[in-house]
Amino acid sequence: MMEPEAVAAGPKSPRDLYRHLARLGDPRAYTPESCERFAGEIRAIRRLKSERNAVVLAHNYQRPEIFEVADFVGDSLELARRAVRIDADVIVFCGVHFMAESAKILNPEKTVLLPDLRAGCSLADSATAERLAERKAALREIYPDLAVVSYVNTTAEVKAESDVCCTSANAVQIANALPNRHILFVPDENLARYVRQNTDKTVIAWDGNCYVHHQITPAEILAVKEKLPHVKVLVHPECRADVLALADAVMSTSGMVRYAAESPAAEFLVVTECGLSDRLTLELPEKRFYKACKLCRYMKMITLADTRAALDLMRHEIVLDEEVRRRAARALTRMFELSQ
Ligand code: 13P
Ligand code: SF4
């Protein structure tokens, strides 16, 4: 869990911000000029946050300059948990649409803003409530005790059709905690397979995957391991089974941060979206992180400029049908109950 030091310490000067971000070794994104611009946006966002009584929640995959305005940075489970105890009128969600929806599901009386409404998720798009209702009905003819477990990477409507939600951090725990023997796991086929391998339940997978993780191949991991056989390989469970087979540890994004911080190892290969390697590089400068990662185009749609504009104009609000919200809240609340 990261409570960004920048929030407690006050905004960095443009020079310090440049020094900080230059450590990422991306001279096209981080120049003295871009950091000057970012520092201005960061000052404006901090002022607007206090004027609007707003908090900023950010996912681990966000651009590192976004961390400078975040009140909390974490994985999907930590962000959902954090969203239930927010003392503010406005939540600005720097992440993707389903994450902002979860914050709204859990905080119906608060205004939840997503700085860019195009920031979706191809995995969440692979399941619709209508198709899920049909599949669930058909499968319950065969398995009357079937439970629908939906990954949080789903729309509010899909959550409303589900018995319980889970994240990459607690998927196995949720499957084990359910009294049901049969589970329809929606929508990630790779995470479903991982859950199946780690429970004795019958897990039926939906036909979906994350385009970011699914394109990572074993050859990319093996090429690094050949040169650096000592690196610890950290893999997100949205990756393919043949990639998971090469992992030293399979875990959520924040699980990787904790693992890297606590491990005596000094070098790691981080196999997930590239934002996580950036967070690790900035947070654990004494360790070395190699990348076998891809960018999520949706996560990277969120910028400081749009975050400032969202707060300034109070735009891009998440609005949910109350009946859908109430049913989706039940599935999220059950997740919290089953994974204390
Ligand atoms: P985490 O819950 O592990 O942060 O993952 C979220 C996600 O979208 C992975 O692609
Ligand atoms: Fe969705 Fe994949 Fe991007 Fe995560 S990394 S938000 S699952 S598209």
Looking up residue 306, the CATH number of its domain turns out to be 3.40.50.10800
Q: Is the C-beta atom of 212 inside 6 A of ligand 2?
A: yes
Instruction: Give the pLDDT confidence score for residue 292 in this predicted structure.
Output: 85
- Regarding whether 229 and 263 lie in a shared domain, the answer is yes
Domain of residue 21: give its range: 14-120+299-313
pLDDT in tens, 4-24: 434 446 789 999 999 999 999
Cβ(106)–Cβ(84) below 8 Å:
yes
pLDDT above 60 (res 207):
yes
Mutate which of 1, 2, 57, 60 to test ligand 1's pocket (most atoms within 8 Å of Cβ)?
A: 60
Using a cut of 0.75, tell me whether the model's pTM lies above it.
Answer: yes
Instruction: Give the pLDDT confidence score for residue 9 in this predicted structure.
Output: 61
- 3-state SS string over 117-179? CCCCCHHHHCCCHHHHHHHHHHHHHHCCCCEEEEECCCCHHHHHCCCEEECCCCHHHHHHHCC
pLDDT in tens, 81-137: 999 889 999 999 999 999 999 999 999 999 999 999 999 999 999 999 999 999 999
Task: Name the residue with the closest Cα to ligand 1, atom 6.
Answer: 76
Band (pLDDT 50/70/90 cuts) for residue 63 is: very high
Mean pLDDT rounded to a whole number for the chain: 95
- C-alpha of residue 128 to centroid of ligand 2, in Å: 17
Q: Which helix (H) or strand (E) holds 30?
A: none
- Regarding whether 24 and 113 lie in a shared domain, the answer is yes
- Regarding whether 202 and 161 lie in a shared domain, the answer is yes
- Regarding whether 261 and 241 lie in a shared domain, the answer is yes
Q: What is the dihedral of CA 255, 258, 262, 267, to 10 degrees?
A: 80
Residue 320 located in a structural domain = no
Residue 134 located in a structural domain = yes
- Regarding whether 81 and 18 lie in a shared domain, the answer is yes
- Regarding whether 177 and 165 lie in a shared domain, the answer is yes
Residue 87 located in a structural domain = yes
How many distinct structural domains can be found in the chain? 3
- Regarding whether 152 and 68 lie in a shared domain, the answer is no
pLDDT above 50 (res 251):
yes
pLDDT above 50 (res 37):
yes
pLDDT in tens, 153-180: 999 999 999 999 999 999 999 999 999 9
- Regarding whether 282 and 204 lie in a shared domain, the answer is no
pLDDT above 50 (res 140):
yes
Partners of 91 in the beta sheet? 55, 112
- Among 158, 184, 209, residue at a domain's last position: 209
The proportion of the chain whose per-residue pLDDT surpasses 90, expressed as a percent, equals 94
Cβ(1)–Cβ(74) below 8 Å:
yes
Residue 326 located in a structural domain = no
Q: Is the C-beta atom of 167 inside 6 A of ligand 1?
A: yes
- Regarding whether 175 and 138 lie in a shared domain, the answer is yes
- C-alpha of residue 273 to centroid of ligand 2, in Å: 8
